Structure 1
């Protein structure tokens, strides 16, 4: 199998990496965190690169690209630990493009592709843990439309987004709806997350909503799988940069008059970090290549990938801190922020233990070396 990127994919990666290196340095990121964890101007710059329309068809004003291009972009953004929720845009444009009626697509996809509108997925609830079929939010028909009531937690950019894709129970079945920020009954609050990005709580009280699909669980699982693949790719970028920072530090930090990079035991640790990075990279490729597979195959692939990524993220992050010593956990030094990002990504869309259970549940009777 040929894993070389095409010329267009390489150009896309280079354009995003150039923006990260020149337009999103550590000081700008620190300023964005201090201002609340989200910068509409930075998100607009991503949209100007065409990234908000990556999964939007050309007819709706997007680039009409696919999972591999999404992986390339998220890996490049991971290297700069970019705070703006582009992964959310990939999820919601994918959901609207694949499941919404034509009029809803026409109303929102061009605006999302241009960066004019930020739409995020609001699916997490306190009692659900990582289970997608557990939902207390309710939807009732109100005339020709729908009204939603409930609370969603840890919604990315909750007090900044222009609209939300919200799962809710309609007549005992999970359905998916679009809720505008300006609709009556919408309340939101915002706070910083562990990695410095912005999230918050979304409350709905008899809030008007537009139906995306009545097959909400199928659509939600697909959307979360897009998010898992994006998180895997982003984590590879974060780990790649973490290893580079660690190696650079070891080449400059001296102990007993020599650089600590000359100590064999420490070199072995870096070799182990590199091995975990490459294992994670291969599983990120696997996840992206399986995004368009049939649902059972796709779901199993995402769980497998997230298990390996979770193990790799924990190992690389912890080793980076250990090899740096005390400076590795200070806010002033950049590697601590990469460590926090890896810690948060490990828990995004299900932690390692959750996905290990998913892998186990999806094993067939013939699974194993003796099959």
Structure 2
């Protein structure tokens, strides 16, 4: 199988890498995190590079690039530790909006492409425990219009967003896959309250409360679209994790090559060399499974969902191992807020929990392997 990137993909990677190097150094990132994590201006700069239109159809002003291009971008944003809601707003939201009627797409896709509107998914609910079908937010029709009531948690950039894409229950029980609709809710609509808070990794999230809030219908049968969009988000998180691990390993190797103890550099200690080899092996395992997740996004739902969960399990293990090992090899400085490596560790920890932690996805893999019990003929 050919894993070489095309010239266009290499050019895209280089463009993002150059922006990160020149426009988003650690001092800027650290200042934004200390100020609460608001990054709307950073998102606007990504729009100037054309990245916010990455997954938007060409007919609506986007570039209609595929999953591999998204992976390339996410790796570089991970390396740069860019704390903007790019994956949520520019990859997951367009995937959800694909199910909307043409008039809704025509109204919102161009705004997403040029970043004049920040549209984020609001998926998580309290007590869901990563279960995607757990939807208690309700959708009712009143006078020909849809109204939503409920609460969504850990919504990316909730207090900075202009609109939200919300799964809400039209019918069925709290955990049924049937009866879930998708709706677009504008921040300025009556009954909408969005509050924000800083996250542990220097980003921004918040709570979204809906009280008979006016909403625009995307689709009344949203389960398949919701699953696909979340898989897009997981693949993006895997790619970002690879980029972050890659950079954290490079920082650690540089530290071992310069820091001296007992009159010699740490890199000469055999135990640390073995530990570094283990770290690099986990990085490459994570990289291969990130590629696997991206390439499986075009498969049918059963194969895609299992493959994505398999990738998330490996990335969860790799991110935890790399983050902990690199921090330990740094010693005390590795956990200080002033040192860049600690911020990579925080981000890797958050990514491990994004869209379901390792144990959750291990259960998902197990549920989807019952026919073979893990043994393949």
Structure 1 length-normalised TM: 0.98
2:314 is the alignment partner of 1:308: yes
Corresponding residue of 2:371: 365
Corresponding residue of 1:100: 100
Secondary structure, in 3 states, of the residue corresponding to 1:290?
helix
Contact 1:250 1:260 in 2 (8 A): yes
Instruction: Tell me by how many angstroms 1:220 deviates.
Output: 1.1
The 2-side partners of 1:346 and 1:171 are apart by 32
Corresponding residue of 2:82: 82
The 1-side partners of 2:277 and 2:79 are apart by 20
Q: Of the candidates 241, 247, 255, which is equivalent to residue 261 of structure 2?
A: 255
Q: Of the candidates 158, 173, 185, which is equivalent to residue 191 of structure 2?
A: 185
Corresponding residue of 1:355: 361
Contact 2:95 2:225 in 1 (8 A): no
The 2-side partners of 1:119 and 1:308 are apart by 30
Q: Post-superposition, which runs of at least 4 consecutive aligned residues in structure 1 deviate over 6 A?
A: none
Corresponding residue of 1:226: 232
Secondary structure, in 3 states, of the residue corresponding to 2:297?
coil
Corresponding residue of 2:282: 276
Range that drifts further, 145-154 or 358-367: 358-367
| CA-to-aligned-CA distance 1:115-153 (integer Å, 9 cap, x gap) | 111111101011111001111100000222200000000
Secondary structure, in 3 states, of the residue corresponding to 1:70?
helix
| CA-to-aligned-CA distance 1:315-340 (integer Å, 9 cap, x gap) | 00000111000100000111000000
The 1-side partners of 2:365 and 2:284 are apart by 21
Corresponding residue of 2:176: none
RMSD: 0.9
| CA-to-aligned-CA distance 1:259-295 (integer Å, 9 cap, x gap) | 0001111011111110000000000000001111111
Pair 369,39 (structure 1): closer, same or farther in 2 beyond 3 Å: closer
2:336 is the alignment partner of 1:335: no
Corresponding residue of 2:62: 62
Secondary structure, in 3 states, of the residue corresponding to 2:155?
strand
Secondary structure, in 3 states, of the residue corresponding to 2:83?
coil
The 2-side partners of 1:15 and 1:268 are apart by 35
The 2-side partners of 1:366 and 1:205 are apart by 46
Secondary structure, in 3 states, of the residue corresponding to 1:291?
helix
Q: How many positions carry a matched residue from both structures?
A: 370
Pairing of 1:1-371 with structure 2 (within 5 A)? 1-89=1-89, 90-96=91-97, 98-172=98-172, 173-369=179-375, 371=377
The 1-side partners of 2:351 and 2:40 are apart by 22
Pair 370,95 (structure 1): closer, same or farther in 2 beyond 3 Å: closer
Instruction: Tell me by how many angstroms 1:366 deviates.
Output: 2.7
The 2-side partners of 1:169 and 1:40 are apart by 31
Contact 1:37 1:83 in 2 (8 A): yes
Range that drifts further, 54-63 or 359-368: 359-368
Secondary structure, in 3 states, of the residue corresponding to 1:129?
coil
Residue ranges of structure 1 left out of the alignment (5+ in a row): none
Structure 2 length-normalised TM: 0.97
Instruction: Tell me by how many angstroms 1:370 deviates.
Output: 6.0
| CA-to-aligned-CA distance 1:162-182 (integer Å, 9 cap, x gap) | 000000001331111000001
Secondary structure, in 3 states, of the residue corresponding to 1:128?
coil
